Amino acid sequence: MTFSTSQQIVLASGNTGKIKEIQAILAKHPIIPQSAFNVAEAEETGSTFVENAIIKARNAALHCKLPAIADDSGLVVDALNGAPGVISARYAGVGASDQDNVRKLLQALEGVPDKQRSARFICVIVFMEHAADPFPLIAQGVWEGRILTHPIGENGFGYDPVFWVPEHNCASAELTSAVKNSLSHRGQALKILTALIKAREL
């Protein structure tokens, strides 16, 4: 299969933070958010990151008639048996803000010592050339860290203010966008996906 370097790609996300990160990392391709086509976000009915990413990519490709990229990502906390996991964005309920989700997470971990607050961000990204693509490209990234007891930093989004990055001795929300993109789960997955897409290019 081949894929043109000039081909527009629809990004199946309405999350402005994700859109900005993915557009920056995949600058070579014209990335257009599905909101530009008035496409509603697909219902995430999968029980895994892979299932949800495929659901979202297929929905965007179907309605926009273009190749589509979708990511499903979230935070996995060991002390919470993997929660919030695939419901990370709606951990505190449908329509919850980042602050609501962070607050619920910190409450759930109240009293848990630092050594037991290990966690990781997971990202699975899917690329589909069309809605019926039988062989979607799938890439994943993992970013290890631990959960702080209180938010720190003003950058990023989601759980970044409470995610401690050991290699930089700071919270993810204290990193610049460039540094975060070089380290993060999404950055890792996109780097792999970029190589896979390149193999399909004309």
Catalytic residues: 72
Ramachandran category for residue 182: left, alpha or beta (phi over 0 → left; psi -120 to 50 → alpha)? alpha
What are the Cα distances from residue 35, in Å, to 11, 52, 73, 124?
A: 9, 18, 19, 21
Q: Which residue has the tokens 């966690």?
A: 119
Specify burial of residue 54 (Cβ count, 10 A radius: 0-12, 13-18, 19+): buried
Spatial distance between the Cα atoms of 113 and 115, rounded to a whole number of angstroms? 6
Contact status, residue 147 vs residue 119, Cβ threshold 8 Å: yes
- 8 A C-beta contact, residue 187 and residue 141: yes
Which tokens hold the place of 34? Answer: 């599905």
- Gap between the Cα atoms of 59 and 145, Å rounded: 32
Local structure of 189: helix, strand or coil: helix
Alpha-carbon Rg for the chain in angstroms: 17
